[in-house]
Amino acid sequence: MIVSTTPTMADKTPRVVILISGRGSNMISIVNAVNEGSLPIKIAAVISNRPDAAGINFAQQAGIDTAIIDHKAFASREVFDQAMASKIDTYSPDLVILAGFMRILTTEFVEHYANRLINIHPALLPKFKGMDTHQRAIDAGETEHGASVHFVTAELDAGPVILQAKVPILSTDTAKTLAIRVLEQEHKLYPEAINKLVTNS
């Protein structure tokens, strides 16, 4: 009898930790893709910096490990980031996924997770880094807008883009209607971009 000691694919399933701050709809789309069998990752944990993040309840009910690390309990950004990294590292993640995580990260944190830290930004980077992207795209007279999944580097919203999704901007659009159209795309884009990364496709 031949007994194989080669690790199976299951042993190699990439482990991810997802960081959220709020409703967590992008995190939910990733969990759903995993449960549907279209995304071969293990979600090791969902961590929030806000105790009231609605997404945490969903993750708990989905049977995922969760943690809340309230940034307000820490004296500085550096100490908060160190606490986050210590917790994240207990899960040995291959990928750390920012999904509506609304904190600026220190360079030390970003460098610690170099090439394994990704974010989704609601704009077609390099256009409209930062906040209020939908209103700014309308005000600028853009005819299209969208979302980008990108690697996180020390400079805000400036890391290499992995995948983007585009939507048209309609003459009737407000920031609210445009945000809804972009978010629909985000929910497809994030699982697809993660899949591209973990399968090297």
Closest residue by Cα to residue 187 from 153, 147, 145, 151 = 147
Q: Which of 17, 22, 105, 197 binds ligand GRF (CB under 6 A)?
A: 22
| Shortest distance in whole angstroms from residue 39 CB to ligand GRF | 16
Give the span between the Cα atoms of 153 and 4, in whole angstroms.
41
Neighbouring CB atoms inside 10 A of 185's CB total 17
Nearer to ligand GRF, 118 or 120 (CB): 120
| Shortest distance in whole angstroms from residue 179 CB to ligand GRF | 7
Q: Under the criterion CB under 6 A, does residue 183 sit at the interface with ligand GRF?
A: yes
Q: Which of 24, 93, 146, 191 binds ligand GRF (CB under 6 A)?
A: 24
| Shortest distance in whole angstroms from residue 11 CB to ligand GRF | 30
Beta bridge partners of 161: 150
Indicate if 121 belongs to the active site: yes
Nearer to ligand GRF, 67 or 183 (CB): 183
Give the span between the Cα atoms of 147 and 166, in whole angstroms.
7
Q: SS in 3 state form for 127-144? A: CCCCCCHHHHHHHCCCCE
Give the span between the Cα atoms of 24 and 103, in whole angstroms.
15
Nearer to ligand GRF, 44 or 99 (CB): 99
Catalytic residue among 71, 112, 121, 134: 121
Closest residue by Cα to residue 133 from 123, 141, 125, 143 = 123
Q: Under the criterion CB under 6 A, does residue 163 sit at the interface with ligand GRF?
A: no
Residues that bind ligand GRF (CB under 6 A): 20, 22-26, 99-100, 120-122, 147, 183, 186
